[in-house]
Structure 1
């Protein structure tokens, strides 16, 4: 079954998230060809160039913190549409040890599936993960001319701050 998202150019199937396997992330960052199981179902345009950069950043950060023994919290997820990996969405790292739990996110979708609501649905699901894991606030950044990404953030509850970035706070329970 396909769903049409208002304000998008067409239907896509169900959007689901799956944490990137740490071993597969290491192989990709090291330039090793992905194992068939790692690349099973990847869209022909995936992984995106920024995917490798994000995985490298997260692997280094979590290695420095000693949190790579298992699947770390505050990690990156594959975005899947009808089982195919079409992008990624995730946290730039964990919140600070002190004070409110504030995390930053990023996301990317393969060009053929942009403007179809995929990123909006993936970000909404990642926000659910953030709230469940104790985040108080989630931040995101966009380029000033990236109207599409700003639309994703608006649709998922983010508001632009004076600093130029975007933020959404944990919903208050009724």
Structure 2
């Protein structure tokens, strides 16, 4: 794994996933010492980890543009995941995704994590960050707005957001 730093926020650690971490998430088998919240990993965490593994196999290590486990700073419990869907496109744009276990929602963790991930994208040289949320997922839409992303439009399934860095 490329030397990718843990991101620390006021209440959270964003731990960059290694290939081994991703395999454990895909298999839903914590290693000794892993502290996983109830209902972690969720389906989205598994898809993200598998996408990361596929990307590493196809293109190599993505550096900063990888998934991160969202851990509580207080005790290290993993309560969700956030990350990039892959490296930037030809224009330098990255796409993000995130999710929290039900017990961690409504506490501002997603917005705190997203602001930190946007800062990491800026440091790593991305030109913009994109994301989307289901039309009925108002909470996720508010998370992106709280992180400074602006509404760009929607289709029959999702609302699209972007932040130019």
Q: Deviations over 1:115-134 (max 9, x none)?
A: 11010000011011100000
Distance 2:149 2:17 in 1: 25
- 2:159 maps to 1:168: no
In the alignment, what sits opposite 1:44? 38
Distance 1:106 1:32 in 2: 19
The equivalences for 1:142-161 within 5 A come to: 142-161=133-152
Deviation at 1:77, TM superposition (A): 0.5
In the alignment, what sits opposite 2:88? 95
In the alignment, what sits opposite 1:5? none
Distance 2:95 2:47 in 1: 16
Structure that is richer in strand per residue: 2
Which has the larger Rg?
A: 1
Deviation at 1:55, TM superposition (A): 0.7
In the alignment, what sits opposite 2:121? 130
Q: Structure 1 stretches (4+) deviating beyond 3 angstroms?
A: none
Deviation at 1:15, TM superposition (A): 1.7
TM-score, normalised to structure 2, is 0.84
Question: What root-mean-square deviation, in Å, do the aligned CA atoms of Structure 1 and Structure 2 show?
Answer: 1.7
- 2:14 maps to 1:20: no
Q: Deviations over 1:120-169 (max 9, x none)?
A: 00001101110000011000010011000000011000111035410011
Distance 1:119 1:44 in 2: 17
TM-score, normalised to structure 1, is 0.80
